[in-house]
Structure 1
Amino acid sequence: MDAVSAERVVGRAMADADLAEVLASRPLHVVAAGKAASAMASAFAAVPHLSIRQAIAIGTHRHEAMPSSVEWMASSHPFPDGRSETAGERALAVARAVPSGEVLVVLLSGGASALMASPLDGLSLADKIAATRVMMNAGADIHALNTVRRHLSKVKGGRLAAACVGTTVTLAISDVVGDDLNAIGSGPGVSDPTTWLDAATAIDRFGGPEHPDHVRALVRRGVSGGIPDTPKPGHPALGRARAAVIGSRLDAIAGAKAAAAARGYHAVVVADAIVGEARESGPAWLRQVEALTATVGRPVCVISGGETTVRVTGRGTGGRNLEFVLAIAERIAGLPGAVAAASIGTDGIDGTSGVAGGIVDSTTMARARQAGLEAPGYFLAANDSFAFFASLDDVIRLGRTDTNVGDLQVILIEQR
Structure 2
Amino acid sequence: MSNKTLLNGVFNQLLEEITPEKLVAESCHLDENTFTVLDKTYDLDAYKNIYLLGSGKAVIPMAEEVARLLKPFLKKTLIIGPYDTDKTFDNGTYMQSTHPLPSLKSIDSARALQEMLQQLTEDDLFIYVLSGGNSALVELPEEGISLNEFQEVTRLMLHSGMPIEKMNSVRKHLSQVKGGKLAQQTKAKGVVLVLSDVIGDDLYAIGSGPFYCDQTSFSDAEDALNTYGVYDKMPESIQTFFKEGRLGIHAETPKKPYEHIEHHIVGSNSIVLEKAQQLLQKEGIATSIIDEPLQGDTSQITKHLLKFTHSHQERTHAYIFGGEATVVVKGEGKGGRNQHLCLNILTQCYLSCDITFLSAATDGVDGNSNAAGALIDTHSLVDAKARHIDPQHYLDSFDSNSFFEQTGELLITGPTHNNLLDIMIMLIEPNPTQRETNG
- Aligning the two structures, in what range does the TM-score lie when normalised by the shorter sequence? over 0.9
TM-aligned CA deviation for residue 168 of structure 1? 2.1
**2:356 counterpart SS class:** strand
Tell me if 1:180 matches 2:205: no
Q: Count residues with an aligned counterpart.
A: 408
Cα distance in 2 for partners of 1:203, 1:105 equals 34
Kept in 2, the 8 Å contact 1:332–1:360? The answer is no
Matches within 5 A, 1:120-139: 120-139=142-161
Tell me if 1:384 matches 2:399: yes
Tell me if 1:147 matches 2:169: yes
Distance verdict in 2 for CA 1:212–1:44, change over 3 Å: same
TM-aligned CA deviation for residue 294 of structure 1? 3.7
Matches within 5 A, 1:251-262: 251-262=271-282
Cα distance in 2 for partners of 1:115, 1:47 equals 26
Cα distance in 2 for partners of 1:202, 1:158 equals 20
Q: Hey, what does 2:411 align to over in structure 1?
A: 396
Q: Which moved more, 1:326-335 or 1:71-80?
A: 326-335
- When normalised by structure 1's length, the TM-score is 0.93
Q: Hey, what does 1:222 align to over in structure 2?
A: 245
**2:353 counterpart SS class:** coil
Q: Hey, what does 1:361 align to over in structure 2?
A: 377
Kept in 1, the 8 Å contact 2:149–2:238? The answer is yes
Matches within 5 A, 1:55-74: 55-62=77-84, 66-74=88-96
- Cα RMSD for the two superposed structures: 2.0
Tell me if 1:8 matches 2:31: no
Q: Cα deviation per residue 1:240-290 (whole Å; 9 max; x = unaligned)? A: 121121100111111110100001100111111011101320231232244
Aligned partner letter, 1:226: I
- When normalised by structure 2's length, the TM-score is 0.88
Q: Hey, what does 1:344 align to over in structure 2?
A: 360
Q: Hey, what does 1:232 align to over in structure 2?
A: 255
Cα distance in 2 for partners of 1:252, 1:361 equals 22
Q: Which moved more, 1:199-208 or 1:133-142?
A: 199-208
Tell me if 1:242 matches 2:238: no
Q: Which moved more, 1:128-137 or 1:342-351?
A: 128-137
Structure 2 runs not aligned, ≥5 long = 1-14, 30-36, 433-439
Identity %: 29
Q: 1:19 aligned to 8, 31, 40, which one? A: 40
TM-aligned CA deviation for residue 409 of structure 1? 0.6
Kept in 2, the 8 Å contact 1:333–1:365? The answer is no
Matches within 5 A, 1:29-108: 29-48=51-70, 51-62=73-84, 66-108=88-130
**2:318 counterpart SS class:** strand
Q: Hey, what does 1:314 align to over in structure 2?
A: 331
Cα distance in 2 for partners of 1:290, 1:247 equals 33
Tell me if 1:193 matches 2:215: yes
Distance verdict in 2 for CA 1:76–1:301, change over 3 Å: same
Q: Cα deviation per residue 1:356-375 (whole Å; 9 max; x = unaligned)? A: 0111112211121122112x
Q: Hey, what does 1:287 align to over in structure 2?
A: 307
Structure 1 runs not aligned, ≥5 long = none
